Amino acid sequence: MSSLQSTLSQYLADPSEVPGAAAEIICAPASLPDAAKVLEACSAAGASVVPWGSGSQQRVGGLVPADVILSTHRLNQIVDWQPDNMTVVVQGGVRAADLAERLAERHQTAVLAEIPGESTVGGLVATGASMYRRARYGPIRNRMLEATLATGDGRVVRGGGRVVKNVTGYDIPRLVAGSMGSLGLIGEVCLKLWPMGAAHATVRVDDPERAWATAYRPLAVLDINGSSFVYLGGTPAEVAGQSAQLGDVVSDQMLWPEPWIGSGDEVRLSMRVRPSDVADAVASLPSGWEYVAAYGVGEVSIGCPKVSLDELADLRRFAEARGGALVVLDGPTALYESFDPWGSPPSSLDLQRRIVARFDPDRIINRGRLPGGL
Amino acid sequence: MGLAEELVALVGADRVLVEPVDLYLYGTDASIDRGPVKNVVFPESTEEVAEIVKIANRYQVPVVPRGAGTGLSGGAIPIGSSLVVSLTRMNGIEDVDPINMTARVGPGVINLDLSKHTKALGVHYAPDPSSQSICTIGGNIANNSGGPHCLAEGTTVEHILELEMVTADGQVIVLGGQAPDPVGLDLRGVVVGSEGTMGIVTSAIVKLTPNPLATRTVLATFNTVEDAASAVSAIIARGIVPAALELMDKLMTVAVERFVGAGFDTEATATLLAEVTGHDSAVDAELEIVREVCELHDAKAVRVAVDEAERARLWLGRKSAFGAVAQMAPDYYLHDTVVPRTKLAEVMAKVYEIADRYDITMMNVFHAGDGNLHPLMAFDSTEPGMLDRVHAAAKELVEVCVAAGGALSGEHGVGIEKRDLMPLVFNEYDLDAQARLREAFDPDGLFNPGKTLPEGSRCFDFGRPVPEGVWV
Amino acid sequence: MGWVTDSAPTRAELSACVQCGLCLPECPTFRLTGKETFSPRGRLMAMSAVADGVVQVDAAFEAIMDSCLQCRACEVVCPSLVPFGRAMEGARTELTAQLPSSQRKARHLVVGKVLASPALLRMATLGVKAGQKMRIGKLLPATLRSGFQGIRPIMPVAVEAGSTYPALGERIGRAGFLTGCVMDVWFSEVHAASIALLQRAGYDVVIPPAQTCCGALAAHDGDMKDARKLAQKNVVAFANVDVVVVDSAGCGAHMKEYENFTQDGEAFSKRVFDINELIAIAIGSGRIPTSATERGDVAVQDPCHLRHAQRIVDQPRSMLRAAGYNPVEIDPDGRCCGAAGIYSLLQPVLSQQLGAAKADQVRVSKAKVVASANPGCEMQLRSYLGSGYEVVHPVELLWRAVQEDDR
């Protein structure tokens, strides 16, 4: 490792710059070609690499050891915002909160995390975190127009383009969303933007299933621990007209549930089922557990201080029987050893292995972080 | 037994074509090239497709999947004597699920048939290519097809939840599902738009979209194409996302009007067809924004379609545009570039300038809201020197669009047509990465070879980049 | 070898197709098979292949051409305005010239000669009549049985050649009425109703004695020589009338295209009207009364050569409404019923599938009466619907209503 450390000397960062990161070597390249050089050196040395944004989602889907932590905090430029084209090019280390603040100047949104905290664009893309407004705007992969990666074997590779519609070649940007960094470090992405509604409302409803069926294109319909809300955005007339029909207006702002920050203390799960199974999924949860159930989407985020392996296995059976999955987002380290964070691997596992091998032949980035130990 | 005999043994003589004239009909699609066909086979089940692929593997014959053959980039045209697998008979619509708003469809289901099928439920299949009356869902998946209403609703890839696919080695795999975020790499997005190079999709679960509560269709005419293009950019910049923003120039409007008689103004230099959809209380406000912006950009006239019948006629006109070109000249050649929406007016001016310089009839009809241009040259290929001029002009057109920060294709696909232009937008590393991706799916390169990527894209066969400066 | 006749598909006809494929969904045979070899685009491409010398006019080419119904639904949706029907007749003419099979020759004897000969037709009619009396329908082979069972009971001829039927009320013109070949004796009730309504509408109706078969079946089958002869004969026979009125959609569509068969055909074609057109105008102008009596539902079947070839869609519905009926739509796509002239005999499998599908559409509509303005469709519908349904020409329903209301 010491020879690798010296090879990487010009890219090293002080550990204090990267809170929470624990590895012998912490690098923070300031450009994509530099990141590629770091990865090429790591590949040659057979060193395992964990890309690092804010560190808030490092426990999603698996805990992997790192010889080298590759922090994106110096890749923090908003490279090219074209408000009139409704696109923005940002580097992976840009904080989602900073991007949101900037885009708000022209009432635009990249529809990333509603309450982003410290999370970075690269981290949100890597974990495929589509959050609540996907009910209206679709998952994050739908906003990925272009992606530039530093691959495991040290190449800088770009796919897609900076236009809103594009079939020029294979859709690498979309593949990158949710790839857990397995194809490469997410150095730069071009995102499609949406106009923010002029008016908003959070409306309390009794029956979320009915609310989803009757509301016209809401931003979200959430059941938060037994209280249900419809989130509306659009023109003032549209929001006012719909609110009145749906229930009681609680706020003219969006009252989103507080996000969780990965800490290892508490078990956090994501249950994914068909939208029609959400009510049953909620009913299947033991009492006292916290949850946010997204109607019309099919995702139930679950938080539980204490949970037995049997309970987890039951939940997973429930989800997988419905064509879904139960994914561990966070939890004590011991849990990861006794309970596969992803569950049954997909039927395309062999194919996925072949793909990853072509981007990261020595399999150094986040090894084992994908389903099936990939 | 030979290939044809094995296929006949599998599916019966009625579903295998062997006669030269029959095969000739499968040598092309709606684009201009032609290739050799060894046989055509019409499977009716996933199992048959898997067996067909295995048989083709044994004979090392390239496999070219085909839907309705309406592609404009040559994606279904064989290169090297190939087995064409026509999926038109796998056209079942099953499991229409009004709660989850999904349906399971065979690849041969015709796009518009699906929306007709689900009409009574108040939902439709949103991507609407101009060829939607005939193009198949399988073909749409192969090309990640767009259409006028993809501006707000997104292209095909946003509407595909699950794919069942036969891989290059004849295995059946399932990608994605109805639950959100399948675990592992989400391969749906790569397979959609892969032009049949990664597998043969045998079934798909598609997302259905609720019909809009209210729709307003606007026809605005302008004295210059630049005014119309500026109006489009300005509408987008105003922060609304109309359901569709389509632009036609004068020559195209004349051709279309002759066929459809929808009341297009054939004197106008540019015609903008805009549609806003949404909640009853929102559409009129958006309509006013569109009207106001058009007037600010010197619109000659702005008219709102009075009823569904007029709306249908206007759209029929728009969607018949390419076919109508034949009234003008026997041949046409079009590109499908995309430019940032801020560059529309500037690029359009250059497009006409190029056509003038090469003395070629230029007609335009395109998805202006997406910045997706379809510059179309109408010509007579028997005129001496014409083809050379067309090719030279086409090259310049693409270069202008790429220089403006654009892409080679917005929805028609790369196919054969734009394959060799790929280096204009991607460097060797980018192309190599795409070639690697393809190789992971199809190591022997028997699935629709010669499409999408130029020859020699796989530069770095040993998994390591060659250091800079080593090659010339 | 390429083409050998002067009727072959022309370069202009073929190059008008840009292969966009918009015709495919409208083609009944493509819908059934999913094959380009059964599609308009494929057929045109096969013709181009012959024109370009890539393939010969052989049995495989013949199969591609012969599966075509010539319903011309493709023409309606073609933004390139390809004259598909004309090109197909050209291709069939080439088949006649290059592949003179005995079967085709026998067919041409019927469509070119028997249909044009009153004496021979009378013999055939006597045969059918005798057959109907003896109920031999059940004994015939399946391919012939359905057609035979669709034939109306033979009635005495109601219309005599050379007669004149004077206009009632204000006289607006002189109409020459085509009695046709089969229609003359097998559909005399339809003729009677048409003539009576034309009189009401203000036409002096004459039955030119020199008229003959319109030649449609001959042209569709590639018997260009006879088709030309018949067209020329009719142009002369109908020289002295203001309008030529036809109550069979297939004949009308063909006579509107006489320009492809005789030199003076273009001027002639402008005077040809389907009965639906003239009567709908008469209803609109009040010359034929609109009934106040409600008479129930009628399923409307659009003959292809009315809807696609002549683009006549609203007029039969206007007639039915004027007769007090509620026209019920059975098929928004207006797909062919599979009768298609002699197609039901030549391609029994495809014809059977289309006929059965059309009958199902009628059954779904719940209507017990079906209006169809073409003899071939009428026969097809009758045989696939079976008992319990009445299949009539719209003019019959209107004439009945007018008579009832007169009482």
**CATH number of B26's domain:** 3.30.43.10
DSSP string, C113-137: IITT-HHHHHHHHHHHHHHHHHTGG
Residue C384: HSE in the Cβ half-sphere, 13 Å Cα cutoff: 26
Which residue range forms the structural domain that includes residue B301?
A: 214-403
Whether A349 is covered by a domain: the verdict is no
C243: nearest Cα among C291, C281, C293, C289: C281
pLDDT of residue B470: 34
- Kindly write down the DSSP assignment for every residue of A189-202, as one continuous string: EEEE-EEPPSEEEE
Q: Outline where DSSP puts E strands in C296-400.
A: 296-301, 325-329, 369-372, 390-392
pLDDT of C340? 86
CB contact under 8 A, C79 and B28: no
Residue C380 lies in a domain: yes
Chain A, window 235-294: residues with a beta carbon less than 8 angstroms from a chain B beta carbon:
235, 237-238, 240-242, 270, 272-276
First to last CA, chain C: 67
Q: Is B97 on the interface with A (CB under 8 A)?
A: yes
Q: Is residue C93 part of a domain?
A: yes
Chains touching C (3+ CB pairs < 8 Å):
B
Tell whether B135 lies on the interface with C, counting CB pairs under 8 A: yes
Rounded to whole angstroms, the Cα distance separating B351 from A181 reads 41
Q: Percentage of chain B surpassing pLDDT 70?
A: 97
The verdict on A187 and A128 lying in the same domain is yes
Least CB–CB distance from C78: residue in B29, B322, B323: B323
Residues B205 and B218 in one domain: no
Q: Which residues of C touch B321 (CB under 8 A)?
A: 79
Identify whether the C-beta of residue A64 lies closer than 8 Å to the C-beta of residue A366. yes
Q: Which token pair is A93?
A: 């280390």
Q: Which residues of B touch C25 (CB under 8 A)?
A: 110, 112-113, 133-134
Whole-angstrom Cα distance, residue B76 to residue B91? 18
Mutate which of A32, A39, A166, A186 to test chain B, going by most B C-beta atoms within 10 A?
Answer: A166
| Distance (Å, whole) CA B341 – CA B348 | 11
Report chain A (374 residues): mean pLDDT per 10 consecutive residues: 90 94 95 97 96 94 95 98 95 98 95 95 96 95 97 96 95 97 97 93 96 93 97 90 92 92 85 97 92 97 91 96 96 94 95 96 95 94
User: Which of C75, C100, C125 lies at the terminal end of a domain, its last residue?
Assistant: C100
User: What is the domain range of residue A209?
Assistant: 199-251
Domain's final residue, options B86, B105, B137: B86
Going by pLDDT thresholds of 50, 70 and 90, the confidence category of residue C146 is low
Give the closest of B184, B338, B452 to A166, CB-based: B338
Q: Are B206 and B227 part of one and the same domain?
A: no
Q: Which domain holds residue C351?
A: 289-406
With 90 as the cut, is the pLDDT of residue C114 above it? Answer: no
A in contact with C (at least 3 C-beta pairs within 8 A)? no
Q: Assess whether B327 and B180 both reside in one domain.
A: no
In the prediction, which pLDDT does C148 show? 66
Chain C residues within 8 A of B258 when measuring between CB atoms:
81
CA dist., res. B208 & res. B137, Å (int): 13
> What is the per-residue pLDDT for B471?
33
Whole-number mean pLDDT of chain C?
A: 91
Cβ atoms of residues A35 and A75 within 8 Å: yes
Among partner residues B133, B255, B327, which is closest to C25 by beta-carbon distance?
B133
Neighbours of C17 (CB within 10 A): 25
Chain C contact for B259, CB < 8 A? yes
**Dist CA A222 CA A213 (whole Å):** 13
Best of B123, B181, B288 to disrupt the A interface (most A CBs within 10 Å) is: B181
Q: What pLDDT is stored for residue B25 in this prediction?
A: 98
Note whether A367 and A64 are within 8 A (CB): yes
Quick check: B27 and B78 in contact, CB under 8 A? yes
Question: For the segment A197-248, what is each residue's pLDDT rounded down to a tens digit?
Answer: 889 999 999 999 999 999 988 999 999 999 999 999 988 888 998 998 899 9
CB proximity under 8 Å: B 206-235 to A? 210, 213, 233
Chain A contact present for B159, CB below 8 A? no
CA nearest to C54 within chain B: B21
User: Looking at the complex, does the CB of residue A357 fall below 8 Å from at least one CB of chain B?
Assistant: yes
Q: Quick check: C158 pLDDT over 90? A: no
Domain total of chain A? 4
Which residues in chain B (3-62) have CB-CB distances under 8 A to chain A? none
* Residue C23 Cα, gap to closest chain B Cα (Å): 8
Residues C376, C146 contacting (CB under 8 angstroms): no
* Three-state secondary structure call for residue C363: helix
Same domain, B374 and B286: yes
Asked whether residue A101 falls in the same domain as residue A163, the answer is yes
How would residue C62 be classed by pLDDT, with cut points 50, 70 and 90?
very high
**Cross-chain residue pair B326–C37, CB shorter than 8 Å:** no
- Flag residues of chain B having pLDDT under 70: 459-472
pLDDT at site C165: 95
CB contact (8 A) between residue A142 and residue B154: yes
Q: The domain spanning residue B165 has which CATH number? A: 3.30.465.10
Assigned domain for A35 exists? yes
* B281 contacts on A by Cβ (under 8 Å): 235, 237-238, 240-242
Give domain status of residue B66, yes or no. Answer: yes
Rounded Cα distance between C47 and C57, Å, is 9
Q: Are B75 and B193 in contact (CB under 8 A)?
A: no
Is A85–B213 a contact, with Cβ atoms under 8 angstroms apart?
no
| One-character DSSP codes across C261-298 | TSTTHHHHHTTEEEHHHHHHHHHHTTSSPPP-S--EEE
Q: What is the mean pLDDT of residues C245-272?
A: 94
Closest CA to B83 of B228, B196, B159, B162: B196
**Domain count of chain C?**
2
- Tell whether B61 and B108 lie within a shared domain: no
| Exposure string for A140-163, b = 16+ CB within 10 A, e = fewer | bbbbbbbbbbbbbbbbbbbbbbbb
The CB-side HSE value for B11 (13 A sphere, CA atoms) comes to 24
Angle between the C275-284 and C188-200 helix axes, to the nearest 10 degrees?
30
